[in-house]
Amino acid sequence: GADLSAHLWARYQDMRRLVHDLLPPEVCSLLNPAAIYANNEISLRDVEVYGFDYDYTLAQYADALHPEIFSAARDILIEHYKYPEGIRKYDYNPSFAIRGLHYDIQKSLLMKIDAFHYVQLGTAYRGLQPVPDEEVIELYGGTQHIPLYQMSGFYGKGPSIKQFMDIFSLPEMALLSCVVDYFLGHSLEFDQAHLYKDVTDAIRDVHVKGLMYQWIEQDMEKYILRGDETFAVLSRLVAHGKQLFLITNSPFSFVDKGMRHMVGPDWRQLFDVVIVQADKPSFFTDRRKPFRKLDEKGSLQWDRITRLEKGKIYRQGNLFDFLRLTEWRGPRVLYFGDHLYSDLADLMLRHGWRTGAIIPELEREIRIINTEQYMHSLTWQQALTGLLERMQTYQDAESRQVLAAWMKERQELRCITKALFNAQFGSIFRTFHNPTYFSRRLVRFSDLYMASLSCLLNYRVDFTFYPRRTPLQHEAPLWMDQLCTGCMKTPFLGDMAHIR
C-alpha cells in the first residue's frame, strides 16, 4: 500500500512537470480576440446582401450604460411600484452576473445551466447569496437536471424559467437579485412571480419611456464605442458592391442620431433598406403587420408600400413582405445581431439566411484564456481527470485516500478557473467540462461569431471561414488528458481488452 501510494504520487508530480513542458509561455497567447470564429463553413464570396441589427451590433455601447439602467429601474420600483425605500441602498455591481443565465421564477434562483440542461453546482444564487449544492439538488427532485423543454419556450421564455440572453439583461439580473436579497434579508413575504414581473416591467419602462435613448443621445462620445470602425465596415462592403439593410427595434430618431455620429449625415445612402421599430422577434413570424413609410421628420405616411426604396425609412412590417419585396433569400444573405433568439434563430432555421452573432464578452474571455494561469489550471485538471480514470482499477483503502485527495484538488482547480472569468458564475461559454446552454444556442443559431463587427476588417470580402474540426469522443486517439497521463497512444488498451 505504501509503495503504491508513493508510486502514484510520484506519477502525479511527473504529470505536473509534463504540463510545464507542454505549455511553455510562448504558447499561451494563441487565440486572437479580433478573430472571427466559425460554427459552419461559409464563403463571403457567396454573400451578396448584408443585414444588421442596430443596438450592440452597429452601435457598441460602453458598460457605463448599465448602472444608469439599473438605477433608473430601481427608482421606478420605489416611486411607481411602491417598493420599500431601503432598496435604494443597492448600487449596480458589474461583476455579479453574466449573460446566458437562467432564472427560476418560482424558486427565485439565478443559475448557470449547461448544454445538457444540468445546473452547474456552485452557480445558483437566491438574491445575492449562493445556494448550497445540496439544496439545489433537493429543489429539483434529487437531480441537477432541469427539463427546460417543459419550462421555457423557443425564445428562452416560459411560465417557470427565463433565460437572460441580451446584454441589456445584465442590469436586470442585478436588480432582480438585489430586490430578492432585500426581501429575504428583511423577512418580507412576497410572491415570486409578482416580484419578477415588477422588476422586468421596471426595466422595460426604462426603454419604453426613452430614458436610455436620452442618456445616449446626450453623450454619444461616452456611450457609443467603435463608431469609426462601424463606418469602415459599411463603407468597405458598399465599395465591393454588397447590398446592405438595417432591421432594428429602436425608433428612427434614436438610430438617426447614432448613425450620424458614427457614419455621418449621409448614412442612409449606404443602406438599400432601413426598417425601424420592427418589433423583433415577431417581425420574423407574424405576417399581419404591414410596412409604414416615415417622412423626414419621422411621421407615419399612409401610402401603401409596393416596394422598399433606398434612402427611405420604414416602420414595423414583417419578414414575409420583406422577402417578397426584395427577393433577398437563402444563403446569399448574412445577417448580424447580438441576440441569439430575437435576431438570429428564426432567420437561420426557417428562412435559410446565414447569421453572425456579435458577442462583446468574447474579447475579455479570450484574453483570460490566453493567460498562462488559465492554461496551466485547465491542463492540470485534465491531468487529474486522466489519472483519476486510471485509478478506478485500484480498490485498496490507501488508493481510495489518494483518489479522494486528487478529486479535492481537481475541484479546487475548477473553482480557481471559474473565478478567473466571474467569481459567481464563471465563463459564459463553458461550465467545468461542458459547454453552457448559451454556447449550445450560439452554435445552433449562428454560422459565425465575433466580438464586434470590426473583426470583419481583418478578412477579405471573399474569405471562406471553416469550422475547426474537433474529434468526437470515439475519434480521438490522442487528446489532452491522454497527453497529460503520459500516453502517446490510445490509453487504457489493456484495461479495455476485455470489453466485447
Identify the bridge partners of residue 465 per DSSP, sorted by sequence position.
42
- Is 55 in the active site? yes
Strand, helix or coil for residue 424: coil
CA angle (60 as vertex; 54, 62 as ends), nearest 5: 140
d(CA 334, CA 348): 10
Q: Do residues 353 and 333 touch, judged by C-beta distance below 8 A?
A: yes
Residue of 3, 53, 191, 321 marked catalytic: 53
Residue with cell 463553458: 430
DSSP string, 320-337: HHHHHHH---GGGEEEEE
**Interaxial angle between packed helices 192-208 and 169-185, expressed in degrees from 0 to 180 and rounded to the nearest 10:** 140
Residue of 3, 55, 75, 321 marked catalytic: 55
53 is in an annotated binding site: yes
Q: Which whole-number Å values give the CA distances from 1 to 12, 332, 357, 397, 398, in the listed order? A: 16, 67, 55, 8, 6
- Is 201 in the active site? no
Q: Judging by beta carbons within 10 Å of its beta carbon (0-12, 13-18, 19+), is residue 300 exposed, middle or buried? A: exposed
Largest Cα–Cα separation, the chain: 89
Which residues, including other chains, have CB under 8 Å from residue 248's CB and lie 6 or more apart? 53, 54, 55, 255, 275, 276, 277, 278
495 is in an annotated binding site: no
Q: Which three cell numbers stand for residue 48?
A: 451578396
Q: Which residues are catalytic?
A: 53, 55
Residues of the binding site: 53, 55, 338
